[in-house]
Amino acid sequence: MTGSEQLEQYSGALLLGVLGDPIAHSKSPAMHNAALAALGTAGHYVPLHVKPEQLQQTMEAIRTLGFRGVNVTIPHKVEVMKYLDEIDESARMIGAVNTIVNDQGRLKGYNTDGIGYVRSLKEEAVPHLSGKHVVVLGAGGAARGIVHALSLESPARISIINRTASRAVQLAEDAGLGSAAQGYGEAESETVMASAEVIINTTSVGMHPHVDELPIRADWIPEGIVVSDLIYNPLKTKLLEVSEAKGCKVHSGLGMFVYQGAYALEYWTGLPAPVEVMRQAVLGSF
């Protein structure tokens, strides 16, 4: 279906949103409302504060209220899959959904996290991930998308560290890289990170308003490597500040946030996303 045909189905204003818990910090409404305006498309993108116990009811409401689509953020990216009619093959392989499209009451889930993140990481920090030892902090929905996308870049090794070691081990197995992907508990963090060339924080530790928190001890970060944080609020987290002080090249979550949103917008509208407008809207919202 072409973009014009998709929009014709929604001849009124497009209703879009983002659901999560918490959600007040999200810059998605500012970014997507600016994008809709730039496209000349009538619509509204709203934040939806949804507690875990409200998720199933919310998904029914998405159908009933005629939302064209929603983004899904922490902590719902895995659980929401239970309530969808169809899941894109890539999202199914990843095991998490961050974008939902509503086609006349039929909900289909996609994952734009991983492709958005790796595009940003390669453009801004590491042009080539082949042969690198990448350490991923966290094993939640965002981590699943990123590990899947990283696995397509031929890294030498992906090490996943999570508070619950079994989740890290399972995610490593799901990556399909054999012994090149391994999962660990926090007790093994120092040893694993000693040989890291790229560290990626996929957890919410350090996100506004808890801006002084660190997901790992600063003295475990090797000097001069690449350190990336998916968090974009604040733009420079405590993790990135301490890493920069150790001579590391740092990469914030802004680029991933913009690109994952751009891919989502294109699913909803069928139109090319105004990426630079979206980036400036986020920067202007702080």
Report, as residue numbers or ranges, the catalytic residues. Answer: 77
| Closest-CA residue to 63 (of 115, 107, 126, 124) | 107
Q: How far apart (Å, rounded) are the C-alpha atoms in residues 243 and 200?
A: 12
Annotated binding site for NADP(+), which residues?
89, 138-142, 162-167, 230, 253
Phi/psi-derived region of residue 218, left when phi > 0, alpha when psi is between -120 and 50, beta in every other case: alpha
The DSSP secondary-structure symbol of 231 reads: -
Q: How far apart (Å, rounded) are the C-alpha atoms in residues 229 and 236?
A: 9
Q: How far apart (Å, rounded) are the C-alpha atoms in residues 249 and 251?
A: 7
Amino acid, single-letter form, for residue 111: N
Exposure string (b/e) for 257-282, b if CB count within 10 Å is 16 or more?
Answer: bbbbbbbbbebbbebebbeebbbebb
Annotated binding site, which residues?
26-28, 73, 89, 98, 113, 138-142, 162-167, 230, 232, 253, 260
Q: Write the CA distances from 15 to 11, 79, 111, 156, 244, integer angstroms.
A: 11, 23, 20, 43, 40
Strand partners, 16: 45, 69
Structure-block tokens of residue 255: 């680029």
Structure-block tokens of residue 217: 């001890």
Q: Which residues contact 228 (CB under 8 A, 6 or more apart)?
A: 121, 125, 198, 199, 200, 201, 250, 251, 252, 253
Annotated binding site for shikimate, which residues?
26-28, 73, 98, 113, 232, 260
